[in-house]
């Protein structure tokens, strides 16, 4: 797959590069990024290098792109978002955002861009985009809920975070689902 930069004029999604390593390391020191993701803790420069070599590069080669989220075309990394293959016609969306950008709608914009690309016939032409998060990750749930994901339930011990089984919320979106607030969500408090 060739690289695709996605933008709506406020959010820019570009492939992260070696020039972004220091900023990725900085962002991954955030306690909430560490709490809700599966990144190594502590997170070092070598972890960012491995991320670029073992996830980003092969992802772009295998129709599982990972983008850096930026607020300008040449701006610093403010987060990451990617699609990870989960069988024919299906991907899982995953993301994190730096603390200074939270609550400003940047992640919702990024999710919209990625879903539009994922479902487009000239994009990935996906049949389904799924989302999973550790139970309690209300911010992540709220972001996908605003983007049309439908709550599908709880996968008990459905994930592993740093060697420990965790319960996960599961949601999905189909290309025919409206991109408005999704149905069936539990109260997110």
Any idea where the domains of the chain sit in the sequence? Answer: 6-127
User: In the CATH scheme, what architecture does the domain 6-127 have?
Assistant: 3-Layer(aba) Sandwich (3.40)
* Residue 170, CA distances (Å) to 24, 58, 182, 185 in order: 27, 25, 13, 10
Residues ≥6 apart with Cβ < 8 Å to 9: none
Strand partners, 67: 81
Closest CA to 74 of 27, 20, 4: 20
Closest CA to 148 of 101, 93, 96, 187: 93
Coil, strand or helix: which one is 68? strand
Coil, strand or helix: which one is 131? strand
Output the tens digit of pLDDT for each of the chain's 189 residues: 678 999 999 999 999 999 999 999 999 999 999 999 999 999 999 999 999 999 999 998 888 999 999 999 999 999 999 999 999 999 999 999 999 999 999 999 999 999 999 999 999 999 999 999 999 999 999 999 999 999 999 999 999 999 999 999 999 999 999 888 877 787 765
């Amino acid at each position: 797959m060739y690289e695709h930069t996605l933008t709506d004029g406020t959010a820019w999604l570009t492939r992260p590069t070696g020039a972004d390593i220091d900023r990725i390391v900085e962002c991954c020191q955030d306690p909430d990024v560490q709490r809700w993701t599966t990144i190594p803790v502590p997170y070092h420069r070598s972890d960012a290098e491995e991320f670029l070599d073992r996830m980003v590069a092969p992802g772009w080669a295998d129709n599982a792109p990972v983008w850096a989220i930026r607020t300008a075309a040449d701006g610093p990394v403010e987060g990451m978002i990617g699609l990870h293959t989960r069988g024919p016609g299906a991907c899982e969306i995953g993301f994190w955002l730096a603390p200074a950008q939270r609550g400003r709608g940047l992640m919702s914009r990024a999710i919209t861009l990625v879903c539009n690309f994922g479902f487009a016939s000239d994009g990935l032409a996906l049949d389904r985009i799924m989302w999973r998060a550790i139970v309690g990750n209300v911010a992540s749930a709220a972001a996908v809920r605003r983007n049309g994901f439908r709550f599908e339930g709880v996968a008990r011990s459905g994930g592993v975070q740093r060697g420990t089984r965790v319960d996960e919320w599961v949601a999905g979106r189909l290309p025919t689902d409206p991109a408005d607030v999704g149905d069936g969500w539990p109260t997110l408090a």
